[in-house]
Amino acid sequence: MEIRNIEGLSVAQIRQLVNEGGRFVHFPYTISIVIMTFKRSSSIYFVRPDENSFKYSYKHVGTNLMLGWWGIPWGPIYTIGSLYHHLSGGKDITQEVLSQLIQHDPEANTSTYAINDLVNPNNSSNTTSTSDSPYNIPRN
């Protein structure tokens, strides 16, 4: 799914903006055709700390109001649920998106992973080497 409004930002800059109040949201919308109702989701939008999310949601509100109500019985139910998310500023998925961005960040800090203990077990004071392990993995 496409993330909009993050062009030119590094993961570190995005994390800083999230700490200042930015968030990732998407807007659910409903389309109904008499007996069939489709519940869909917009692209993901990054709403900066100084922005209002309405500028991203207005077209999805219009879709809900024009096409969402017509399916019986789920059209009105899904449309009301979608409108709730629009009025509350979008469905917040900041933590999920941040975890994906950080996981795939080429500039991530890997110094806290203790990889050196697996590669060179003699650095650890409570390490026991056994012959049954092909890798000298420290055992406590």
Do residues 75 and 69 make contact, with C-beta atoms less than 8 angstroms apart? yes
Average pLDDT over residues 46-68: 93
User: pLDDT digit string (tens) for 35-52?
Assistant: 899 999 999 999 999 999
Rounded Cα gap, residues 134 and 131, in angstroms:
7
Q: Are strands 23-26 and 44-47 parallel, antiparallel or unpaired?
A: antiparallel
Burial label for 136, CB within 10 Å (0-12, 13-18, 19+), is: middle
Mean predicted confidence (pLDDT) in 100-113: 68
Residues 56 and 30: their CA atoms lie apart, in Å, by 16
Contact 39, 80 (CB under 8 A): no
Residue 120: pLDDT above 50? Answer: no
**pTM for this one?**
0.71
